[in-house]
Amino acid sequence: MVPSEAPPEDGRLRVLIEAVSPEIDAGAYPVKRVIGDLFTVSADLVADGHDVLGGALLHRRPGESEWRSTALREIVNDRWHADILLDEIGLWHYTVEGWVDHPATWRKHLAAKFAAGAFADLPLELQIGAEQIAAAARRASGAGASQLHQLAAALRDESIPVDTRVVMALADDVGEVLAESPDRALASRYGRTLAVVVDRVRARFSSWYEMFPRSCGAPGKHGSFRDAEERLSYVADLGFDVLYLPPISPIGSSFRKGKNNTLTPAPDDVGSPWAVGSPDGGHTAIHAELGTAADFRRFVRAAADRGLELALDIAFQCSPDHPWVDEHPDWFKRRPDGTIQYAENPPKKYQDIYPLDFESTDWWNLWQALKGVFLHWIGQGVKIFRVDNPHTKALRFWGWCIGEIRAAHPDVIFLAEAFTRPKLMYALAKLGFTQSYTYFTWRESAWDLRTYLEELASPPVVEFFRPNFWPNTPDILPDHLIGAGHGAFALRLVLAATLSSSYGIYGPAYELMDNRLRPGSGEYLDNEKYEIKTWEISRPDSLRPLIRRVNKIRRENPALHDNRSLRFHPADNPFLLCYSKRTEDRTNVILVAVNVDPVYRQGGHIDLDLGELGLAGGASFHVRDLIGNGRFLWHGSRNYVELDPSSVPAHVFVIEPT
């Protein structure tokens, strides 16, 4: 073996740092938290021998270049952790250091020899310790330095009895002062700098309501922002905090879709808002019949006055009439016959939409223009964006664009409408999307729901992927809602609102239980995407009271504000799904039982994990139903529930220990 000509990294570094958590893909992407979280970082610190180790969590706040240090504490079996309070929105960085703590090792050995009666060794041990204490004094400052200097002198003073000096050296306050000024000259540092992006709370806990402003006018008339203002109190009364609008830009007329997606529109057909752009303007313009830019800003303020934050749909695609088609022909892909390829998602065809070509030779100018769309609407007061089909746009673009925007506007939230392959959904989340649509829309059975949610609520997925559950969208009327009644709509509402800390509905279609399918489409009959609808929002059979109740439960119970504590509890009936969420201190514990059969009454026994609920084995406790207002005394871990979908197919219990 040929010897190395140069030594490796300082061979005196004895601590190995392993299994740092949380960490996503070897530090390639940040983990996600919200402001106010206590962020826990764990790591294994391993070294040879029996020396005492020390460690620190190094962290930098947004915009800082110097590391701050928080001491690691050993948990068990060489596993260490530390907590820091994330009290600022933005991108934080962190890593871990570990070292051999020689003063602590000396104090450990001194205590052992003293306890064993090895008194002959103690004078020399005290001299060794005096040197280490004196070195620590030079690293310390203020009162701590003075205390250590005095102690070092005392340890050398042979006029003081040995046992007295030993007691002085082993005093608890000495250990505390030494820990404040460790010798980190030979500290090992983890090989990666990791990141955590800190969002505002709405990034993790939000309730969305989708509404077409053009359907808020008088019957048969195109609504405006002024008309939509009159609907704001209704949405606020339902308890939502995010009002989401489809695209508000001008709509193209070429290949415009008629009612029910027909290719032969009538002269008065309004077209799809997702066919963005006309001679009146593109992605930064406003459809004339909705109003002006001033009207839009007024609408944003009116929503905020009612506790609603506006979310705007951004669809990076163009109608054939979009100004970019003539101004930037290189941004579109042409077929051999010279025509531009329209969008398709077989069997669906979108002849009124041209996709953008992210392989264009002019890609950099395209990227800049798309980023400019977000910046324009941020300037109009919008800080939440629902992005249409982001999985059909270049991934590298999203990493760049979201990073650029959040560097200047760290409070912006991006929701990915990405009904696509799991790894692609996760990639978008890693690249910066704050939340994402999910497969919840199609998960029906208790087993399917449990399996899927256990994936979403467990590491590593829970560290970077925030689900937003939607039981319906203008594009999707799932099979279990087709022709369905109150039971199906009620149970899907409760599931979405309690399984996920963020959820949304497309209304008023949902609360009015629109269940009519256009054959062969998977979409609603008389879809609002292609026509103006008149909704009877005051209908007596509306789900409005239940929605209002569920959103109130969500607001008042912090256990439902996060997904990390989600745990499932087995039931002996496959149609029953039971799960719990709790706060870290277990002062708020929510237990949900849902009958996923939308037709028949189902009952069965639930086997509760009492420890997870903060209850002692065999304990008696009250469960209070926050939907039905019943209160029951339960005993031990096995208890019975029975749920009728014709009334309310779910219990949302709060646990009240006796």
16-101+187-198 CATH, one of 3.40.50.980, 3.30.450.70, 2.60.40.10, 3.30.420.10: 2.60.40.10
**What's the pLDDT score for residue 1?**
55
Beta strands in 526-644 (DSSP E): 567-568, 576-582, 589-595, 602-607, 620-625, 631-635, 638-643
Q: Which residues contact 203 (CB under 8 A, 6 or more apart)?
A: 32, 34, 413, 434, 435, 466
- Taking the C-alpha atoms of residue 525 and residue 547, their distance in angstroms, rounded to an integer, is 24
Tokens read off for 169: 């050296």
**What's the pLDDT score for residue 9?**
77
- Taking the C-alpha atoms of residue 107 and residue 130, their distance in angstroms, rounded to an integer, is 11
- Taking the C-alpha atoms of residue 434 and residue 197, their distance in angstroms, rounded to an integer, is 10
Contact, 89 vs 35, CB < 8 A?
A: yes
**What's the pLDDT score for residue 4?**
63
DSSP string, 28-93: TB-EEEETT-EEEEEEEEE-STT--EEEEEEEE-TT--SPEEEE-EEEETTEEEEEEE--SSEEEE
Dihedral through CA 267, CA 268, CA 269, CA 272, nearest 10? 110
Residue 392 backbone phi and psi in degrees, to 5: -100, 10
- Among 300, 298, 320, 296, CA closest to 310: 300
> Number of H helices and number of E strands within the chain?
15, 29
- Among 162, 248, 254, 239, CA closest to 208: 239
- Taking the C-alpha atoms of residue 434 and residue 546, their distance in angstroms, rounded to an integer, is 28
Residue-wise burial string across 433-443, b where 16 or more C-beta atoms lie within 10 A, e elsewhere: bbbbbbbbbeb
The verdict on pTM exceeding 0.85 is yes
Instruction: Answer yes or no: same fold for 16-101+187-198 and 567-657.
Output: yes
Kindly list the distances between the CA atom of residue 512 and the CA atoms of 509, 535, 646, in Å, as whole numbers in the listed order. 5, 8, 16
Q: Which residues contact 214 (CB under 8 A, 6 or more apart)?
A: 222, 223, 270, 273, 287, 289, 290, 532
**What's the pLDDT score for residue 72?**
98
- Taking the C-alpha atoms of residue 388 and residue 114, their distance in angstroms, rounded to an integer, is 71
Tokens read off for 468: 């937003």
How many beta carbons lie within 10 A of that of residue 164, not counting itself?
11
- Taking the C-alpha atoms of residue 113 and residue 632, their distance in angstroms, rounded to an integer, is 60
Residues marked as catalytic: 388, 417
Domain 567-657: top CATH class = mainly beta
- Helix axis angle for 172-180 and 122-139, nearest 10°, is 40
Kindly list the distances between the CA atom of residue 425 and the CA atoms of 200, 298, 324, in Å, as whole numbers in the listed order. 22, 35, 29
Kindly list the distances between the CA atom of residue 458 and the CA atoms of 67, 260, 370, 464, 584, in Å, as whole numbers in the listed order. 30, 41, 34, 11, 16
208-251+280-316+363-557 CATH, one of 1.10.940.10, 3.20.20.80, 1.10.10.60, 3.40.50.620: 3.20.20.80
Contact, 78 vs 41, CB < 8 A?
A: no
Name the residue ranges covered by the structural domains of the chain: 16-101+187-198, 118-180, 208-251+280-316+363-557, 252-279+317-355, 567-657
Token pair 């028949």: residue: 600
Q: Which residues contact 4 (CB under 8 A, 6 or more apart)?
A: none
Domain 118-180: top CATH class = mainly alpha
**What's the pLDDT score for residue 375?**
98
The ranges of the chain with pLDDT < 50 are: none
